Every structure is written in structure tokens, then in C-alpha cells.
Chains A and B, each alone.
Chain A
Amino acid sequence: MVRERYFQQLDLLKKCVLSFGELAELIFRDSMSSVIDLDISLAEKTLALEFEADKLEGRIEASVFDLLALQQPMASDLRLVVSTLKISADLRRVVGLSMNIAKIPGRMEGGHVKPLIDTGKMANIVAFMLENSLRAFETQDAQLAREVAARDEEVDKLFYAVWVELIEMMAKDTSIISRATNLLFLIRYLERIADHCCNICESVVYLVTAKKVTLN
């Protein structure tokens, strides 16, 4: 083949995004565990990983600019390069929101105001969405991307249910307002992470079909 180095660069870019995805998954899962178990030491370990995420994001950006400036990628290569830039920005937001989640245990004095059952369900769906949106990117599977994005609806429903429940609890017992507010933030972060997973799915559909779609 004629452009061996160029193909290697494209391949490396794709791998970088997948590594970034794995890191984001790890950070998200640990941030959730740290909240559910109120495990401050896990939360601190998780917070320390933000810097790794910045490094990866920087590498991906640099590589995208190099490819655009020096190689003039075309057709599916161009779509790959553009998608990786967008996916990497979404992953960076997922990491940022997970950082917010990992800050909750440090503020949570006196334990949770209720068992985190629906919130746990939300977190499981979000973890599924994150993992599989990246799998859809890896395997260029537009169908999987659409299926993953469709689960956003469940996340939104759970968000609303828990929201209402927490508001009602606070109305009855004002002494829990501070701790319940932390949970309100938590479910908001989860809902936002699911939206970023949907964005990733949209990028995958664009990568595979060249069509812009809205999936949530």
C-alpha cells in the first residue's frame, strides 16, 4: 500500500480514542462506587485520574490536527477524524461529570437519605451506554449505536422518578435538604453522561453512514 504511515496514524488515533473510552469507563464506574459506598479513598483515587484524561484528550487533538493539516483525509477517513475529535470531547465531559460525582462522598456527612436503588439502576444503564457506544465506535456498528441511544429514555424516566421522590422527602423533612441535594446533583450528572453517550452514538452513525442524526 502507498500510504502506510498515514494508515498507521489513523489506526493509532482510533486506538487512542478507545483507550480514552476505557479510562472514562473506569473513572465513571469508580466514581459511582465511591458514592454508593461513600468510599472517600476510592473517590480521591478517581479524582487523581483527571490528569490522565487531559493528557489523552491532548494527544487525540494533536493527532487530529496533524492528520488534517498534513494528510488531507478524505471520505471515510475524514469522517473518522472528525468523529474522533467529537467523541473525544464527549468523553472529556463524561470524565468531568464523573469528577463531580466523585466529589460527592467528601460532602456527604451522615450517610445517604435513602437506599440508592433507582439511582443504581440509572448508573447501570449509563455504564451500559458508555461501554456500548464505544463498542459501536470500535466495530463501526450504526445499529448498535441507535440501540444504545434508545436507552436514554429509561435514564430520563428514572431521573424524573428519583427527582420527584427526593423533592417529596425534602418537603417532609427539611433536615435532609443538604444530603438530598447531593443526590439531586448526582442524578443530574448521570442524566448528562447519558446525553454524552447519545452524542457519541450520533458520531458513530455519522462515521458509518455520513448522515447527521439526532438520537435523543
Chain B
Amino acid sequence: MTEAVQNVSQSQIEVENLNLWYGEKQALKNISMQISKNSVTALIGPSGCGKSTFIRCLNRMNDLIKNCRIEGRVLIEGKDIYGPDVDAVDLRKNVGMVFQKPNPFPMSIYDNIAYGPRIHGANKKDLDGIVEQALRSAAIWEETSDRLKSPALSLSGGQQQRLCIARTLAVKPRIILFDEPTSALDPISTSRIEELIMNLKKDYTIVIVTHNMQQAARISDYTGFFLMGELIEFGQTRQIFHNPQERSTEDYITGRFG
């Protein structure tokens, strides 16, 4: 294997000089970041600093927003996702996303999971296996195996969120983006999701936005601190929470902000 190829396989996502504007307002300022394969990267920072905007750039969710203009490059496995030959639907299959509020479709648990694979042309006879596998990986099989036909909306909030994770896993992405996935959940459900995220990194690369610093400290390998559209500091989580190099990072994580 050549060195170049090895590098690509270590850095799953490479962001180079990314700038983003909503109309006149610049929301991301010259962000560069390398995200390693099979790691959990947490993004922290005060509300409105651009965390959600940033992760939406990683699967082109900002394409759907009017007046949004992007400069710079985002390479996933070495390929520029803003390149002309990239299909956004394929991209989002590879780069799944889980949101703050669990958003199951108003259909059965089974159909929620089968939905994506069906769209992507999965064989009907494989579906049962895919659904079971996804529910197991998202640690919700035990709770749902005897009621797969029940409406997904009958699940508790924490279960719904794990269902949404299972739905994301069902289309076999390589990267999963989480935008504050536990901020609407109780502490037990939160711990379950955290456990799950730590287990998922064996098979996936994970980027998570969280406003809970202890959560970032507990579950991530790398942490990036955003402030007013800039990536102020990015490094190993141990180091960021033990000995940050930037004053504003220190002030933010110790609560001395503003």
C-alpha cells in the first residue's frame, strides 16, 4: 500500500479552509480539521458558534438551505464531497445523521428501519435480517423484538433515539454525525446512548455535537472547541480537558466565560 493511501485510511474526513455564509453573515471561518477513522470526535462551544452548521457540511445538509454559500473543501476518504460528480443522496447514505429530537417516521418500528434499505434497493428476503441487525447494533433489539409491528411513536424518548440510530445504521454508513443526540433525554437514556456511541466507533467514524462538556469528555477521543464560527482548538480529548492550550478553551470548559 502506498503512503498516500495509508494516510487516507487514517483520516476519514479532511476539512480544508472551510468558509460558510448564510446570506451576508459568515457562520464558519476558515475551518481545517482532520477526523480519524474509528474515532469519536466531539464538537463543543457556546450556542450559535457554528457546530451544527459545521457538521451539516459533512453530509451536505446545508445544500437544502437557501442563501447558504460554501467555500473550501471537505474530503471524505480522499474524495471532495462538493465535487461535481457527487450524488448527495449517496453521500448521506455513507454519512448518516442523528438529530437532537428523536424523529421516527409515523410508521411501525420495523418499517422505520426497513425504510432506508428499501429505498436503496435491498432484497425483500434480506430485510428481516437487516432490521434485526440494526436494532441489535443500536442496543434496542431486546426491547422491540416482540413488537416490531407497533408504531415507533409508542416508544419512549430514549428508545426512539436508539431507533433513529438503528435506522441510520440500517443503510450501512461509514460515518455517523450526531447533533446533540441526548439533550432531550433523561440521564439513564443518555448513558445508554453514550455507551452505544462508544461501542459504535469499532465500526464507524463518529462526530458528535454536544453542549454537555462532561459528555464530550466521557465519550470522545478528540475534541474541537468552536467559538463564533472559528475552530479555536482541536486535539485529543484528554489534552483539551486536562491542559488546553488556548485561553478561551480553558475559560469555556471551566465555566469562566463572559
Task: Identify the A interface with B (CB < 8 A).
Answer: 1-3, 6-7, 72-79, 209-210
With A2-B258, A3-B255 as given contacts, are A72 and B250 in contact (CB-CB < 8 Å)? Answer: no
A66 to B256, CA, bound (A): 19
B117-136 interface bits toward A, Cβ cutoff 8 Å, 1 = contact, 0 = none: 00000000000000000000
Which of B244, B254, B258 has most chain A Cβ within 10 Å?
B254
- Chain A residues whose C-beta falls within 8 Å of the C-beta of B258 in the assembled complex: 1-2
Whether B254 lies near A210 (C-beta < 8 A) is: no
Q: Which residues of A contact B241 (CB under 8 A)?
A: 74-75, 78
Chain B residues with Cβ under 8 A from A1's Cβ?
255-256, 258
CA distance A72 to B172 in the complex (A): 37
- Cross-chain contact A2 with B257 (CB below 8 angstroms): yes
Contacts of A7 in B (CB 8 A): 256
Q: Is the CB of A73 within 8 A of B254?
A: yes
Q: Which residue of A lies closest to B257 (CB)?
A: A2
In angstroms, Cα B243 to Cα A1, docked, is: 21
Number of A-B contacts (CB under 8 A): 37
Indicate if the CB atoms of A75 and B214 lie closer than 8 Å.
no
Q: How far is the CA of A72 from the CA of B258 in the complex (A)?
A: 20
Query: Chain B 227-258 against A: per-residue CB contact (8 Å), 1 yes, 0 no?
Result: 00000000000000111100001100111111
- Given contacts A210-B242, A210-B243, is CB(A75)–CB(B255) below 8 Å? no
Which residues of A sit under 8 angstroms from B244, Cβ to Cβ? 75
**Which residues of B are at the interface with A, using a C-beta cutoff of 8 A?**
213-214, 217, 241-244, 249-250, 253-258
**Do the beta carbons of A77 and B254 come within 8 Å of each other?**
yes
How far, in whole Å, are A193 and B214 apart by their CA atoms in the complex? 39
New A-B contacts (12) at CB < 8 Å, excluding given A76-B243, A77-B254: A1-B255, A2-B255, A3-B255, A3-B256, A6-B255, A73-B254, A75-B243, A75-B244, A75-B250, A78-B242, A79-B242, A209-B243
The residues of A that contact B254 with a CB separation of less than 8 Å are 73-77
Q: Which chain B residue lies CB-closest to A4?
A: B255
Give chain B residues whose Cβ lies under 8 Å from the Cβ of A2. 255-258
CB closest residue in chain B, given A209? B243
A74 to B217, CA, bound (A): 10
Q: Which chain A residues lie closer than 8 Å to B256 at the CB level?
A: 1-3, 7
How long is the Cα–Cα vector from A209 to B243 in the complex, in angstroms? Answer: 8
Q: How far is the CA of A78 from the CA of B241 in the complex (A)?
A: 9
Q: Looking across the interface, which residue of chain A has its beta carbon closest to that of B255?
A: A3
CB nearest to A6 among chain B residues? B255
Chain B: minimal CB distance from A193 (Å): 30
In the complex, the chain B residue whose C-beta lies closest to that of A1 is B256
